[in-house]
Amino acid sequence: MKEISAGGVVFRKQRERELEVQMIQDRYGKITLPKGKMEAGETIEQTALREIVEETGIEGRIVEPLETIRYQYTMSGIGLVDKEVHYFLVEHTGGKLAAQVEEIRGVEWLAPLEAWHQQVHNGYGNNDSVVKKALEKLGYEVE
């Protein structure tokens, strides 16, 4: 079985030109990015923007694609699932920050280097390159 999801690295610029990046904590307590499954009739871009709104309350516009990651997991009763997740760099355009408590534990805005620290120490390894690419496109070098 194949499953396609999409999401993004959401950023915003504050009044004093300070940049912030959105990170979520999933139901397992890990730091990650908002994402979700594609629904019938949606484009990958529409999926990413819808999932960001649903999970975080934040509306955005896609700036550019970042990366597509692929992995496999086992689903009870189905077996092996080939998962493909398309990530985009997304600029905040509106909405109010609110975690979708049925899906995630929390959501917050972080300084770019704090977002990277959280990703490296508390996130999923397959998201490292996605967050790194986003931060580089926003003008931050990380290792």
User: For 43-81, how does the pLDDT look when each residue is reduced to its tens digit (9 = 90+)?
Assistant: 999 999 999 999 999 999 999 999 999 999 999 999 999
Residue 103 has a pLDDT of 84
Q: Are strands 58-75 and 35-37 parallel, antiparallel or unpaired?
A: unpaired
**What is the 3-class SS of 22-68, one letter each residue?**
EEEEECCCCEECCEEECCCCCCHHHHHHHHHHHHHCEEEEEEEEEEE
Residue 16 has a pLDDT of 73
Quick check: 15 pLDDT over 80?
A: no
Instruction: Check residues 71 and 103 and name the one with the higher pLDDT.
Output: 71
The rounded distance, in Å, linking the Cα atoms of 119 and 72 is: 21
The rounded distance, in Å, linking the Cα atoms of 96 and 45 is: 21
Residue 64 has a pLDDT of 98
Domains and CATH numbers, the chain: 2-137 (3.90.79.10)
Quick check: 116 pLDDT over 80?
A: yes
pTM attached to this predicted model: 0.93
Residue 106 has a pLDDT of 94
